[in-house]
């Protein structure tokens, strides 16, 4: 494109996004045909670009309508990837999204665990418990939680485990329900902090790597459905039915304490006891002084 003349940086951004969106076909963007859905333009719809970029539809619409004056560099990079821009177009997008008077950047959100909370969950040897952050990152786990999720390659983020790890399909008896709830929870977080760096990073990664996540992210969840009871299958101890409780940590807004409890005396309680015994560290051998060194 001709870079000799530059339109107004605010209005120009909306025009630029709209032109690139309308020139990119759904097939080229990796989207499946929409069946009976009629398209007024041959390119992508706004909601499809928003999903691919990991931003809300309302936020992307404000960008095209020149009602959002300060998109962050992370948002612009996500849009460049979603629209599959070449180097020259990408530079133009970054220039157009850089108005002369930018709002100050939000500080990076660093989540820390209070020591007494870590000590608390580690003291629960018969109950899986862990703490998640605002983007559902696992910030702290106890030993029984690590054993419970031992079939997963990594214990880093609830959504990454659900959408990217094959173990989720066999571990959760109803993986679809678990995914719906996790996405609804993340949507609620994103609505309150649309420029949150960690949320944008996570949504961007999942949108690229998981077609199912893209489809669920495009839906509207008015509320987060409850978990109640989680039914699982562990490769070592078999079927487990655990009651799920999520408690907000008032001293650290955005963090939650997750507790998974088995009914006392139930087969699931026996399964957790067995799992705990299999993963408990062995007590050090104490030599009888009478036998000498």
Indicate the angle between helix axes 9-23 and 46-53, nearest 10 degrees: 100
Query: What is the domain range of residue 129?
Result: 115-279
pLDDT at position 61 is 85
pLDDT digits (tens, 9 = 90+) for 169-184: 999 999 999 999 999 9
Q: Do 120 and 38 reside in the same domain of the chain?
A: no
Give the length of the chain. Answer: 293
Q: Do 121 and 198 reside in the same domain of the chain?
A: yes
Strands of the sheet containing 238-248, edge to edge, are 138-141, 129-132, 256-261, 238-248, 229-234
Q: Do 54 and 124 reside in the same domain of the chain?
A: no
Asked if the structure places residue 234 within a domain, the reply is yes
Asked if the structure places residue 102 within a domain, the reply is no
CB 75, CB 203: distance < 8 Å: no
Q: Is the pLDDT of residue 35 over 50?
A: no
Residue 291 banded pLDDT, cuts 50, 70, 90:
very low
Q: Do 88 and 156 reside in the same domain of the chain?
A: no
Q: Do 238 and 267 reside in the same domain of the chain?
A: yes
In angstroms, the CA 112 to CA 42 distance is 47
Closest residue by Cα to residue 121 from 105, 140, 146, 135: 140
Query: Burial level of 94, CB count in 10 A (0-12/13-18/19+)?
Result: middle
Q: Do 168 and 246 reside in the same domain of the chain?
A: yes
Q: Strand 129-132 and strand 256-261: pairing?
A: antiparallel
- More confident position, 31 or 182: 182
What is the radius of gyration, based on Cα positions, of the chain? Answer: 24
CATH at residue 43: 1.10.260.40
Q: Do 92 and 121 reside in the same domain of the chain?
A: no
pLDDT digits (tens, 9 = 90+) for 256-286: 999 999 999 999 999 999 999 987 665 454 4
Asked if the structure places residue 132 within a domain, the reply is yes
Using alpha carbons only, what angle is made at residue 150 by residues 166 and 160, rounded to the nearest 5 degrees? 45
Element (H, E) at 246: strand 238-248
Q: List beta partners, residue 259.
A: 129, 245
Asked if the structure places residue 107 within a domain, the reply is no
CB 80, CB 90: distance < 8 Å: yes
In angstroms, the CA 250 to CA 126 distance is 25
């Amino acid at each position: 494109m001709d870079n000799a003349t530059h339109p107004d940086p605010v209005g120009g951004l909306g025009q630029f996004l709209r032109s690139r969106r309308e020139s990119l076909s759904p097939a080229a963007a990796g989207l499946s045909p929409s069946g009976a859905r009629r398209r007024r333009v041959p390119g992508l719809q706004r909601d499809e670009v928003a999903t691919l970029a990991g931003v809300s539809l309302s936020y992307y619409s404000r960008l095209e309508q020149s009602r959002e004056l300060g998109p962050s560099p992370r948002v612009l990079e996500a849009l460049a990837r979603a629209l599959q821009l070449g180097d020259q177009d990408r530079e133009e997008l970054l220039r157009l999204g850089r108005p002369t008077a930018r709002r100050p950047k939000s500080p990076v959100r660093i989540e820390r665990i209070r020591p007494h909370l870590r000590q608390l969950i580690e003291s629960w040897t018969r109950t899986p418990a862990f703490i998640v952050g605002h983007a559902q990152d696992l910030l702290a786990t106890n030993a029984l939680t690590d054993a419970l999720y031992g079939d997963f390659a990594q214990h880093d983020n609830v959504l990454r485990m659900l959408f990217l790890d094959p173990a989720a399909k066999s571990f959760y008896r109803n993986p679809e329900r678990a995914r719906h709830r996790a996405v609804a929870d993340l949507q609620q977080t994103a609505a309150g902090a649309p420029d949150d760096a960690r949320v944008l990073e996570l949504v961007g990664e999942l949108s690229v790597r998981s077609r199912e996540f893209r489809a669920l992210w495009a839906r509207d969840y008015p509320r987060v459905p409850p978990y109640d009871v989680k039914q699982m299958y562990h490769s070592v101890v078999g079927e487990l039915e655990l009651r799920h409780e999520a408690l907000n940590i008032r001293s650290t807004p955005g963090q939650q304490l997750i507790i998974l409890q088995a009914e006392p005396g139930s087969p699931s309680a026996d399964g957790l006891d067995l799992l705990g015994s299999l993963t408990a560290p062995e007590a050090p051998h104490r030599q009888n002084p009478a036998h000498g060194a």
